[in-house]
Structure 1
Amino acid sequence: MSIRGAVKTGTIRPSAGVPVSNPTVYRVLFAISLVHLFNDSIQSVIPAIYPILKESMQLNYSQIGWISFYFNLTASIMQPVIGIYTDRKPKPYMLPLGMAATFLGMLLLAYAPSYGFVLLAVSLVGLGSAAFHPQGSKVAHLAAGSRKGLAQSIFQVGGNAGQSLAPLLTKWIFIPLGQFGAIWFTLVAGAAMLVQTYIAFWYRGLLSAGATTAKKTVQRTMDPTKRKQIISAIIVLVFLVFVRSWYSAAMTSYYAFYLRDVVGTTLEQAQIYIFLFLAAGALGTFFGGPLADRFGQKTIILGSMLGGAPLAVLIPYVSLEWAAILLPLIGFIAFSSFSVTVVYAQTLIPGKVGMVSGLITGFAFGMGGLGALVLGSLIDIYGISLIMKLSGYLLILGILTLLLPSDRKLKEWSSEN
């Protein structure tokens, strides 16, 4: 059946002024997941190049934190703004245009002669990320049909898989090639623009097919009398994202330095342990969505935080052999709620897919950057050993998940309209 025919027969229903197809469109989901992998593998260049920049530009930990802060803050501030705008006026071609900013950022990073140019370069990459994530999440939502959890997992696993490449990039590209190794990622950005152009054509066709029907349909919204409860739930959810992002920042930005300076490994060896953490996190992201579809979103969010907490506390005290076992477990458990938090937020505020996705994923970027900045400053003052030990306790704050409304309550709120 054609898209236009599906609209006439009611198998496509609009949400937030955009039609949503009931069948799951896997070719689009896998395409947007591939772009997410490309996008986040480019993003992973930023933390991957920290050890190189620290040595070549003689940076301290606070300055490393500022690089992360500039990159993540740029993405964080712009994502909700772009999400709100594209909820009102969908812009399919913002996907390849955003990647053009990333392309320029990587080109500048390869040739950056000073610290100031590095900050400008990572800010451009942040803008590209801000343009991609709300639109990418919306594409996943439109292609999901009834399988929202699975769709978000497919979308998010691409991103987390890309992020997991950071330690390997350090080991295989930046240690042997130095800062100029970033030039290779302009090719990745070019490939991403091609795939995003294909997705943009599909997205535009979906909009054209459903435009007339969308105007005649009243979108589902949450009962205004539940506003205070919804706001409270969003605050708790955002705080949980805050906690997970700070722990992730500690591991991805500074754990390699901890292994080198405290444990005594080389930077090349340290990258393997970071990779184990992030690669297992990508697997956790994929399985988290289907598990949430079966056992409930709140259950998975709670389990991901508290399940990883005791292992995270142990990490600074165990041998390298045990770290190689515990790090993948922590990554898998902690990141299993990555896509689930996005779907949970979309359920809390229906009809605002771009805004909610920008808020949750954008806030994750921003808090990760702020966490890296604060942790870097604390490391300069108190030493890396103490701060890494204290970071292990962050996930215990996941107990606040108990304050979130249950999945059943969310369904009741949605059905009351």
Structure 2
Amino acid sequence: MFAIGGCHLLNDTLQAVIPAMFPVLEAERGLTFTQLGFIFFALNMVASVLQPVVGYFSDKRPMPYALPIGMTFSLVGMAGLAIAPSYWLILLSVIILGFGSAVFHPEGSRVSFLAAGNKRGLSQSIYQVGGNTGQALAPLISAFVLVPLGQKGAAVFIIVAAVGIVLLSRISAWYKQQLELEKQNNRKKVLLSSIGELTKRQITIALTLILTIIFARSFYVTNVTSFYIFYLLDEYGLKIAQGQLLIFLFMALGAAGTFFGGPMADRIGRKNVIVLSLLVPLPLCLLLPYVSLWAVGPLLAAIGFFIMLSFSVTVIYAQELVPSKIGTMAGLTVGLAFGMGAIGAVVIGRLMDVIGIFPTMVIASFLPFIGLVGLMLPKDQKITVTKPSS
């Protein structure tokens, strides 16, 4: 569990380099907010579209060594990003990076499932908190690596990809061994669902509600992680490094929320954690564009923690809706998070170019209201595992 969580951290650290580089690309390459949005769109849309496809095929035929292969693509993309002299080559590099991420996530989630036992919430939280911690490093990467070194500073992260390839090769060997044991015992490991029997129509509606929640959450998180820095610079007159530390606070507390959400869901239920994650951030998001600088940090910390509390839980909930499709559901939910973030980056970047930074932040503050559809989700129950009598 911890090994695949650590590799998830490395994978998402590589992805975090892209938004971390936005202030550098704006200064060095003279890119517009719309162009920056399309860079983020290219990265996350490739990862989004391909994840369910990879998950679908891995459900039919698991591919243990796809993990280091995916990380190899990420290494190539990062090397290209460091030396890309033009906007179009930057786009190509992030597409390659996105492909590597798309290959990694569904198979990584399957490794987490195989290692979980009956602690699905804890296992998924360890796996997802690795990724969210990697994403949380974006502001620090920007402040302490990319701002001093510029675009070529991305080359530092080739080392991160290389370490990931080595670790994932070891994990893949364990993964292959588990599959061989399943084959020898002629018994495939299956996921126990806490949701109970639902009709196909009920499953479709519930899955649609989960995807809507992911849409609202991803759109808002993209706004904060990729574009709120420009609001901090413009509204409060902060320097890039100062602003990025506040973004880091949001993402670090988001990673903490991701970790606590899974075990909490094991105790009080999936839906209860999802609803808590929806209701608490609403008033805080509405306040954020209007507060004084001293209040920005506490608000960002609280919003980050609660809005990400349901990140791993929505993945588990979707997998329990369709327990025979572990990889597909992981690819669909996490992939959709990337995809909605990609679309959000384009929309937000365009709005900032057209109507300005402050009005865009105000509009974005209403996004969490969309997630209230989660109140209509079917309620889950605690899973009880009965041991066979000796």
For the criterion TM > 0.5, the same-fold answer is: yes
Structure 1 position 65 matched with structure 2 position 19? no
How far the C-alpha of 1:214 sits from its partner, in A, is: 3.6
Tell whether the 8 Å contact from 1:220 to 1:351 is kept in structure 2 after alignment.
no
Say which of 299, 313, 317 aligns to 1:340. Answer: 313
Partner of 1:277: 250
- Name the counterpart of 2:387: none
Distance (whole Å) between structure 1 residues aligned to residue 242 and residue 84 of structure 2: 27
Match of 2:167 in 1: 195
Aligned to 1:395: 368
Q: Per the alignment, in what secondary structure is the counterpart of residue 407 of structure 1?
A: coil
Q: Which residue of 1 aligns with 2:359?
A: 386
By how many angstroms is 1:225 displaced? Answer: 7.0
Matched residue SS, 1:367 = helix
Map Cα deviations across residues 157-196 of structure 1 (whole Å, 9 max, x no partner): 1111110000001100111100000001010000001110
Query: Is the 2:121–2:265 Cα contact (8 Å) retained in structure 1?
Result: yes
Aligned counterpart, 2:272: 299
CA shift at 1:268, angstroms?
Answer: 1.4
Aligned residues: 383
* Cα separation, 1, equivalents of 2:71 and 2:285: 35
How high is the sequence identity, in percent, across the aligned residues? 46
Deviates more, 1:354-363 or 1:317-326: 317-326
Partner SS for 2:3: helix
Residues 1:35 and 2:10 aligned together: no
2:80 is the counterpart of 1:101: no
Deviation at 1:213, TM superposition (A): 3.2
Structure 2 gap segments, 5+ residues each: 385-390
- 2:262 corresponds to: 289
CA shift for structure 1 position 218: 9.1
Q: Contact 2:124/2:312 (CA < 8 Å) preserved in 1?
A: yes
Query: CA separation in 1, counterparts of 2:186 and 2:375?
Result: 37
Q: Which residue of the partner structure matches residue 129 of structure 2? A: 157
Asked if 1:184 corresponds to 2:150, the answer is: no
CA contact (8 A) 2:136 2:255 kept: yes
Q: Do the aligned partners of 2:58 and 2:327 also contact (CA within 8 Å) in 1? A: yes
* In 1, Cα distance between equivalents of 2:52 and 2:322: 14
Tell whether the 8 Å contact from 2:121 to 2:313 is kept in structure 1 after alignment.
Answer: yes
Specify every segment of 5 or more residues in structure 1 that has no aligned partner in the other structure, as ranges.
1-28, 413-417
Distance 2:94 2:188 in 1: 43
| Letter paired with 2:270 | Q
2:93 is the alignment partner of 1:121: yes
Deviation at 1:262, TM superposition (A): 2.0
| Residue of structure 2 aligned with 1:329, choices 302, 308, 330 | 302
Q: Distance in 1 between matches of 2:241 and 2:169?
A: 37
Determine the structure 2 residue equivalent to 1:320. Answer: 293
- Tell me what 2:206 maps to: 233
**Residue 217 of structure 1: how far off its partner (Å):** 8.9
Q: Provide the C-alpha distance between the structure 1 equivalents of 2:175 and 2:375, rounded to a whole number of angstroms.
A: 38
For residue 204 of structure 2, what is the amino acid of its counterpart?
A: I
1:314–1:214 CA distance, 2 compared to 1 (3 A): farther
Q: Secondary structure in 1 aligned to 2:150?
A: helix
Deviation per CA, 1:58-111, whole angstroms, max 9, x where unpaired? Answer: 111110100000000000010000000011111100000000000000000000
**Closer/same/farther in 2, CA of residues 161 and 225 from structure 1, 3 Å limit:** closer
Is this contact kept in 1: 2:190–2:323, CA < 8 A? no
2:196 and 2:380 in contact (8 A); partners too: no
**Corresponding letter in the other structure for 1:349:** V
Whether 2:51 is the aligned partner of 1:51: answer no
Q: RMSD of the TM alignment (CA)?
A: 1.8
Q: Which amino acid in structure 1 is aligned with residue 98 of structure 2?
A: G
Report what 2:339 is aligned to.
Answer: 366
Task: Report the 3-state secondary structure (helix = DSSP H, G, I; strand = E; otherwise coil) of the residue aligned with 2:334.
Answer: helix
Hey, what's the Cα distance between the residues in 2 that align with 1:297 and 1:279? 23
Checking the alignment, whether the CA contact within 8 Å between 2:182 and 2:188 is kept in structure 1 is no
Note the C-alpha offset of 1:234.
0.4
Residue 74, structure 1, aligned to residue 46, structure 2: yes
